[in-house]
Amino acid sequence: MWDGEYTVRIDHLKPLNYLESECQQMQLISDRISRLRENDNLEEAARAVLKHSGELKRPYLTAVEEKLLSLIEKEYGVDER
């Protein structure tokens, strides 16, 4: 998960019916957020954007969300991918 690791029983999971490409996209977004969260100097505004992005219930970012995430990566010197 974007904010840590969790252990759950399989019967507590529900299928999201995403395509393989959508799952890969979600993994990329999660990886980007995780790399940023490792920075101890993140400001609250950046943390709020990351929290929102990590809780999205869709496998993509809007254009604005992508720009915000890219800006935070640039500001904190973290490569996009």
22-59 pLDDT tens trace: 999 999 999 999 999 999 999 999 999 999 999 998 99
pLDDT at 5: 82
pLDDT for 64: 97
Burial 25-60 (b: 16+ CB within 10 A, else e): bbeebeebbeebbeeeebeeebeebbeebbeeeebe
